[in-house]
Amino acid sequence: MMELDQWISKVKEGQHLLEDELQLLCEYVKDILIEESNVQPVNSPVTVCGDIHGQFHDLMKLFQTGGHVPETNYIFMGDFVDRGYNSLEVFTILLLLKARYPANITLLRGNHESRQLTQVYGFYDECQRKYGNANAWRYCTGCF
């Protein structure tokens, strides 16, 4: 059983999910994304965001300024990971919010949501460093 609200709080506080929790979350959100149509209707008003690139603190500031989910609807236009130091936290919180509020978060894949680019631009190495193996990277890239 997933404790989404507890996990959201945990990640917002700068902690990581346990590896098995991350795996469960990724599998759950992957099922949500598979069921969504390629053309996704979005309720307005909506805040459109792009190129977060692992900037977790900027993302938290965005929610603080733009409004928290579910009061505010968001479209994230990809490039969640790579380049920044907190790609794992960014991707995890976006997955958690998608799992908790699926109608209020739309996640679109960017060019950095690919296994090839994440091995070049840092997400793979970050997952290795933070979890000690590549499993977290495999779980996350399975959602791409």
The predicted-structure confidence for 17-75, as pLDDT tens digits, reads as follows 999 999 999 999 999 999 999 999 998 999 999 999 999 999 999 999 999 999 999 99
pLDDT band at 125; cut points 50, 70, 90: very high
pLDDT band at 2; cut points 50, 70, 90: confident
Q: Which residue has the higher pLDDT, 137 or 112?
A: 137
Which domains does the chain carry? 43-143 (3.60.21.10)
Report CA dihedral (57, 130, 105, 67) to the nearest 10 degrees.
Answer: -20
pTM given for the model: 0.95
Exposure string over 89-114, b if 16+ CB within 10 A, otherwise e = bbbbbbbbbbbbbeebbbbeebebbe
pLDDT at 115: 87
Per-residue pLDDT for 6 more than 70? yes
Q: Given the residues 16, 53, 68, 112, select the one marked as catalytic.
A: 112
- Is 68 annotated as catalytic? no
Which tens digits make up the pLDDT trace of 86-118? 999 999 999 999 999 999 999 999 988 888 999
- Token match 């009061």: residue? 71
pLDDT band at 14; cut points 50, 70, 90: very high
